[in-house]
Amino acid sequence: MSKKFNVSNPSGFPEFTLSEEQVRREWVAIIEDIFQRHGFTFMSTPLVEREENLLGKGGEAKEMYVLKRLLDHDDDNTHSGNALRFDHTVPLGLYVARHFNELNFPFRRAVIGPNFRGERAQKGRYRQFDQCDIDIVGNESLSVASDAQIVAVMVEVFSALEIGDFVMRMNHRKVLLGYFEKIGVDMEKLPVALKIVDDLEKLSREKIVENFGEEGISSDRAEKILDFVNFTGDTQKVLEFLISEKTDSDSVFNEGVDDLETLVKVLQAMNVNEDCYKLDLKIARGLDYYTGMVFEGQIVDHPKFGSVCGGGRYEDLAQMFTGKFLPAVGVAIGFTRLLRQCLDAGIVKVGKASPTEILVVAADDVSFAPALFVGQQLREMGLYVENFVEKKKLAKKFAYADKQQISYVIVVGENESREDKVMVKNLVEGSQELVDVESLGSYFLGE
Amino acid sequence: MSKKFNVSNPSGFPEFTLSEEQVRREWVAIIEDIFQRHGFTFMSTPLVEREENLLGKGGEAKEMYVLKRLLDHDDDNTHSGNALRFDHTVPLGLYVARHFNELNFPFRRAVIGPNFRGERAQKGRYRQFDQCDIDIVGNESLSVASDAQIVAVMVEVFSALEIGDFVMRMNHRKVLLGYFEKIGVDMEKLPVALKIVDDLEKLSREKIVENFGEEGISSDRAEKILDFVNFTGDTQKVLEFLISEKTDSDSVFNEGVDDLETLVKVLQAMNVNEDCYKLDLKIARGLDYYTGMVFEGQIVDHPKFGSVCGGGRYEDLAQMFTGKFLPAVGVAIGFTRLLRQCLDAGIVKVGKASPTEILVVAADDVSFAPALFVGQQLREMGLYVENFVEKKKLAKKFAYADKQQISYVIVVGENESREDKVMVKNLVEGSQELVDVESLGSYFLGE
């Protein structure tokens, strides 16, 4: 080697092993199927958008990667002005703005693909990670039943992944903000109060009261908020509690409670397993853009995984780009992180490194061409077949099949070929059988 | 809007419409299936690698995008040192280096995913584009039969895509370089002579002779090269011509000819349609890293599409990172460009914008919950079903189904529900039928 390379993955950009990758592909197939069975349409927007659009209205700094052409290295003026997307939601807003007239509303979008965040790397935080999103975008209005559909799809997805009991914790921003208003928290303190609630589960009660205090919210009010958000019980009990808190003057609070009531009714109508969702008044979701329902999914036996999916109602993303009122609701699964966590925790077991079912080998030089032909015929029947074509001893070919966990080896040999037969070895059972070439298809496909 | 956004796609980063996207997904499914049936294993490496590794040994400037954290904008010292991959081949070399001890050789890798080039945007050139690659990496040796397997897979893929007759044009670097040597071209002129042959089809004969002349290759030799590479005929005829040119002293040339002979024999043994491949001595492939076989695919009726896939044998990529001799052969399909070309040329027709088969609507408020339940039941049977849940008039709901080209609308109404029936409307045939809720499954699945 003329030069020494550091070939390790750049920090924050890991990859799966081949057998892990097979699980990844199975998961993607499961999620794609469920998304599509619920009427969501996949689309793939570019990974790169204009920096100013990704930054949005606020223009605040985000942990984002901007692109520079290597050849412009020393010339900052040619800065491309483009950046890698950091989520699927802003690109959705841009897509809707670009294609508004072609789209049919409510627009149901699905996407599975990578996003990028230029964070300092740390365990469990990736700089490139796949997210699986579904969103429903309405034109001028969008019923609460859409929010329920999103929750129902998540319950179905996590049940299909078989990684343990899943629960979607659901709340409403208007319930929280309305309650803060009710007890007299200043209007301008509402966002910061929401943020404190969002961090609730990480801190002690004392610390939270202190945090409220630092923001000028009295300990009396802080205690009230804590009692309110910590109210627990089954769905019906929480709903009854919320209804009991309604008064004629609390229009924001009441709207939130009414939405949650409708949400639960729709989930019941869809026959969604009641163990898989609950009202949880502590859920606030950090992101600014949520305006109504918010939800966070959790694997019950693995609270340390954190929220495995999260989402809610937002009304400003497409509006920012279109000037139109396009209320939307969506959710994102943190796919890469979740899969890594499930693999590391042993909840998901890896199997073979490839889908190959049969290895075809030639026992002698004369059988090289016939072996190729046999392999090709089986492939045409839809089987997953590899021809081992390297000049190696038969034992080496079997060793390869063994390592690859390929169940069957077909040995094509001169003597057997004369009678139009091949030897089929079952490596799992350690058995072998002479099979007519003509009946290989029915042998493997059982037809 | 407080601010005006330019929402158009950044130049060179286009996207497909929803119905085009459905075709894209079909193509991906077809290609994935064929790759896997031939024993190739999918893996997904990160989109980002160390800049120095992507640049490789030479360290020459490439049209590459390097990443910068937005928050480090004004501080060039924190340059991340990472860049977006520009092909799937260098990352394969890195992957093999990282995972050498886990891998089973020959290692058969498949990948479908985006690559990035920081080129000035022009029509048909993308800055982000999907490529579909397969590669076979040997440990110390790799038989020519592997090269043939790559060709056979491409023939199968392009036949399955149904975009017209496909032909793989095949040649061998050693045949070209060996021939140049034979006729006395200086050793140090060999790479530049190869480059001139690579541009042959774009230029006039006079211009080519002139180009050779500028590089110090005599017009006599230039004419010989031109006659040689322009030799045409069916596979057998070209092989015979090449064999007739062999002499005992031309070891490089002879190796190339022997490889091509073996290649053709294996293709014949695999029963690959002879119309779908040919020996074409003009094929050189621009890229430096090819060392043996080279091939380029073409859609016969659309030469303007250019090469729709290209590849060959290379021996230095993994070696560079591992210090081991790991000969490899691979091919890449220029997926995004090809699909765009086929769509624009009308070779591929788009259909529906989503896979939804059935829209379920409620005719009245009482039927809202039953409609949700019916939809969910059909989904559980594997059907693609959307519930329209917005409060709109029935006509609006039908207009939505119509625009989305959904074939069936199930109307759940109070009267019909009393008899456990729903109205099924077939929008394609303009017919309707009352169906028992219980037998909806067999109605749609024909069981």
DSSP one-letter string for B228-263: HHT----HHHHHHHHHHH--TT-HHHHHHHHHHHHH
Residues 6+ apart with CB under 8 A from A258: none
Q: Which residues pair with B68 in a beta bridge?
A: A66
Of B81, B110, B73, B82, residue with least CA distance to B95: B110
* Cα of A68 to nearest chain B Cα, Å: 5
Query: Which residues from chain A sit within 8 angstroms of residue B142, using beta carbons?
Result: 390
Does residue B66 carry a pLDDT above 70?
yes
Contact at CB, A44 and B404, closer than 8 angstroms:
no
Taking an 8 Å cut-off on Cβ atoms, the answer to whether B141 and A390 are in contact is: yes
Which residues in chain A are closer than 8 Å to B267, comparing Cβ atoms? none
Helix (H) or strand (E) holding A101: none
Note the pLDDT of residue A77.
43
Q: Which of B14, B21, B373 shows the shortest C-beta gap to A271?
A: B373
Q: What is the pLDDT of residue B122?
A: 67
Q: Do A49 and B321 touch (CB under 8 A)?
A: no
Amino acid A289: pLDDT: 85
Beta-ladder partners of A67: B67
Nearest to A47 by CA among B129, B66, B335: B129
Task: Judge: B10–A356 Cβ closer than 8 Å, yes or no.
Answer: no
Ranges in chain A, pLDDT < 50:
1-2, 59, 75-78
What are A134's strand-pairing partners?
A110, A331
Kindly give, in sequence order, each residue whose CB lies less than 8 Å from that of residue B115, ignoring residues fewer than 6 positions away.
Answer: B84, B85, B86, B87, B88, B128, B129, B130, B131
A-chain residues within 8 Å CB-CB of B116?
A: 48
Q: Which residues of B touch A387 (CB under 8 A)?
A: 39, 145, 149
Task: Give how far B97 is from chain A: nearest CA, Å.
Answer: 7
Nearest-CA distance A213 → chain B (Å) = 31
Predicted confidence at residue A1, as pLDDT, reads 43
Q: How large is the ipTM?
A: 0.94
Question: Is residue B177's pLDDT more than 90?
Answer: yes
Most B-contacting residue of A16, A18, A33, A392 (CB-CB within 10 A), to test interface:
A18
What is the C-alpha separation between A101 and A324, in angstroms, rounded?
12
Q: B271 and A373: CB-CB below 8 Å?
A: yes
For residue A176, the surrounding DSSP H or E stretch is helix A173-182
Quick check: A102 and B18 CB within 8 A? yes
Residue B82 with chain A: CB contacts under 8 Å? 10, 13
Contacts of A82 in chain B (CB under 8 A): 10, 13
Residue in A closest to B142 by C-alpha = A390
From B20, which residue of chain A is nearest by alpha-carbon distance? A43
Q: Give pLDDT tens digits for B289-338.
A: 899 999 999 999 999 999 999 999 998 878 888 889 999 999 999 999 99
User: Per the CB < 8 Å rule, is B149 touching A387?
Assistant: yes
Share of chain B above pLDDT 70, in %: 95
| 3-class DSSP assignment, residue A296 | strand
Nearest residue of B to residue A324, measured between CA atoms: B1
Cα–Cα dist B426/B405, whole Å: 11
Best mutation site among A104, A137, A319, A403 for testing chain B: the one with the most B CBs within 10 Å? Answer: A104
Average pLDDT, chain A: 93
Confidence at residue B20, expressed as pLDDT on a 0 to 100 scale: 96
CB distance B149–A389 less than 8 Å?
yes
Do residue B98 and residue A39 have CB atoms under 8 angstroms apart?
no
CB nearest A48 (choices: B3, B13, B384): B13
Residue B34 has pLDDT above 90, yes or no: yes
> What number of C-beta contacts closer than 8 Å exist between A and B?
306
Q: How many helices (H) and strands (E) would you count in chain B? A: 16, 16
Test A404 with B104 for CB contact under 8 angstroms. yes
Interface test with A, best of B13, B42, B43 (most A CBs within 10 A): B43
Chain B positions in Cβ-Cβ contact with residue A88 (cut-off 8 Å): none
Sheet of B82-84, strand order: A48-50, A82-84, A65-69, B65-69, B82-84, B48-50
Q: How does strand A166-172 pair with strand A128-137?
A: unpaired
Q: Of A340, A339, A343, A315, nearest to A328 (Cα)?
A: A315
Partners of A100 on chain B (C-beta within 8 Å) are: none
Q: What is the tens place of the pLDDT at every residue in A331-369?
A: 999 999 999 999 999 999 999 999 999 999 999 999 999
C-beta atoms of B6 and A99 within 8 A: no
For A197-211, A233-247, B120-134, B152-166, which range has the lowest pLDDT when averaged over its residues? B120-134
Torsion of CA B228, B233, B236, B240, to 10 degrees: -30
* Single-letter amino acid, residue B233: G
How much is the average pLDDT of B391-404?
Answer: 96
By the 8 A CB rule, do B409 and B425 touch? yes
Nearest chain A residue to B51, by CA: A70
- B125, pLDDT greater than 50: yes
Question: How much is the pLDDT for A60?
Answer: 53
Residues whose CB is less than 8 angstroms from the CB of residue A121 and which lie 6 or more positions away in sequence, other chains included: A11, A12, A127
Is the pLDDT at B3 greater than 70? The verdict is: no
Instruction: Provide the shortest C-alpha distance from residue B122 to chain A (in Å).
Output: 16
**Burial group, residue B373, by CB count within 10 angstroms (0-12, 13-18, 19+):** middle
**Nearest residue on chain A to B390, judged by CA atoms?**
A143
DSSP notation for A38-68: TT-EE----SEEEHHHHHTTT----S-EEEE
Q: What is the pLDDT of residues B248-299, one digit of tens each?
A: 988 999 999 999 999 999 999 999 999 999 999 999 997 778 999 999 999 9
Q: Which residue has the tokens 């109504």?
A: A292
Tokens of A339: 């899969």
Tell me if B63 and A71 make a contact (CB, 8 A cut-off): yes
pLDDT tens, A175-233? 999 999 999 999 999 989 999 999 888 899 999 999 999 999 999 999 999 999 999 99
Of A118, A269, A386, nearest to B39 by CB-CB distance is A386
Query: Which pLDDT belongs to residue B289?
Result: 85
Two tokens at A439? 């009946």
Chain B contact set for A266 (CB, 8 A): 369, 372, 389
Residues above pLDDT 90, as percent of chain A = 84
Nearest CA in chain B to A93: B7
* pLDDT score recorded for residue B121: 62
State the smallest CA–CA distance between residue B407 and chain A in angstroms. 13
Give residue B14's identity as a one-letter amino acid code: P
Under DSSP, is residue B428 helix (H, G, I), strand (E, B) or coil? Answer: coil
- Residue A185 to chain B, least CA–CA distance (Å): 28
Q: Which of A37, A39, A44 lies at the smallest CB-CB distance from B15?
A: A44
Segment B207-226 shows an average pLDDT of 94
